[in-house]
Every structure is written in C-alpha cells, then in structure tokens.
A and B are shown apart, each in its own frame.
Chain A
Amino acid sequence: GAGVSQSPSNKVTEKGKDVELRCDPISGHTALYWYRQSLGQGLEFLIYFQGNSAPDKSGLPSDRFSAERTGGSVSTLTIQRTQQEDSAVYLCASSSRSVETQYFGPGTRLLVL
C-alpha cells in the first residue's frame, strides 16, 4: 500500500483479555517501530524491528507485551491479560533504514474496560 496501515482502528476489550494489534508497514521498509500514546502524553517507544529481529525491546512495559514480525513485513503487537492502564493509542511506524524518516500509521485506539 501507499502508507503504513494498522488494524483494527479501534478495539474495546475487557480487563484480562488478550488483544492483537496489526501493522502493515510500507513495502520495502526494513525498520519497524511500535509506540504507545496515552491521553495527553508524548509517544512512548515500545519496540524496534530491523527485518524480523528486534534488537531493542527495552520499551515494552511488562512481560504481558510481546511483538513479532514475520517475512520482514507485517508485525503484530500482543498484549496479554490486558489492564485498564493499557488503554492508549498504539502507533506503528516504518522507515527504509533505521536512520531515515519514520512514517506513521493511523494508530489503533485500545480501550480496556
């Protein structure tokens, strides 16, 4: 596609449930990033992929969060046993190389009740 796409655009779930968020980066972009944006807060780095490997997972807030990337393309961010504090917008970005401009998707708005 022409840009980064994310799905679902909105997700409402109950506390304790697992959720999967998907990111389709721009074709050919090797670097992929996940960020979290809480209401009124700046973006928070979660994880970075170069190809299918994740050299930097330092931003994942707990072991309930995990992410994978397959085929050097699509990435999935999984949150297990969701908590209310997980409610936020989860943004994905991709770039042609790690030092190039990052292009962001529209985000997935997660609400944990």
Chain B
Amino acid sequence: KNQVEQSPQSLIILEGKNCTLQCNYTVSPFSNLRWYKQDTGRGPVSLTIMTFSENTKSNGRYTATLDADTKQSSLHITASQLSDSASYICVVIPYSGGYNKLIFGAGTRLAVHP
C-alpha cells in the first residue's frame, strides 16, 4: 500500500472553474507535507509547504489544507487557468532526524480546457 495516495488520478475542468485535489497519507511521524506542480517534460516545482502544526497555506490561487488527525491534505485551485494543466504531486517528508527523504504520491493529472 502506498504511503501517500492521491485522488482523483486525473481530472478535467473548464477554465475559470475551481477544483480540489486530495491526498491521504500514512507516513508518521512526518516533518512536513508539500504540494508540487509538474508540467509535462519538466521537473516538479514546489507550491506549498506545511508543517504538521499548520492547517492551511496559500500561494496565489493555490490553497493547501492539512488535517494531521485524519492524515489528509487537499489542494484547492481557484479560478483555474489553462496554465494550471499539469500533474499535482503530494509529497510527505518523514521525520528522519537528520536528513529528509521525500515520499511522493503518484499525482493527479489536471487538464484545464477552454
């Protein structure tokens, strides 16, 4: 069983609409949780970083939430744009006491259509 599971696997929305991507994890204890955006053919780029004590973090039209009790996180995208078409990856960093080793979800592939 994957330690970080994301849903849906893929999503199509119309430009201007909102959407929410889900991430469930079992990694415990963890240092922080991150959401990355990966454009096709590019490396992932960090969107948000949250420690286990934070509940929400925003970056422009992206808002991430974290519920450490239920081990769930979500990424909400507001007023989607065509450039939001990408894979969104949830990443959990275990508390390893010295260095970190990211555990990646398989990602949600988002397509924004005009």
Q: Which residues of A contact B (CB under 8 A)?
A: 4, 31, 33, 35, 40-45, 48, 50, 55-56, 59, 91, 93, 98-99, 101-107
Contact = CB atoms under 8 A, between A and B. Distances in A.
A90 to B, nearest CB: 11
A40 to B, nearest CB: 7
Given A45-B101, A102-B46, A105-B43, 12 more contacts: A33-B102, A41-B106, A42-B2, A42-B107, A43-B44, A43-B104, A50-B99, A99-B31, A101-B46, A101-B49, A106-B42, A106-B43
B57 to A, nearest CB: 13
A93 B41 CA distance: 15
Nearest to A107: B43
Given A50-B99, A55-B99, A42 B89 contact: yes
A101 B104 CA distance: 14
Interface string B71-108: 00000000000000000010000000011111111110
Contacts of A104: 43-45
A40 B6 CA distance: 13
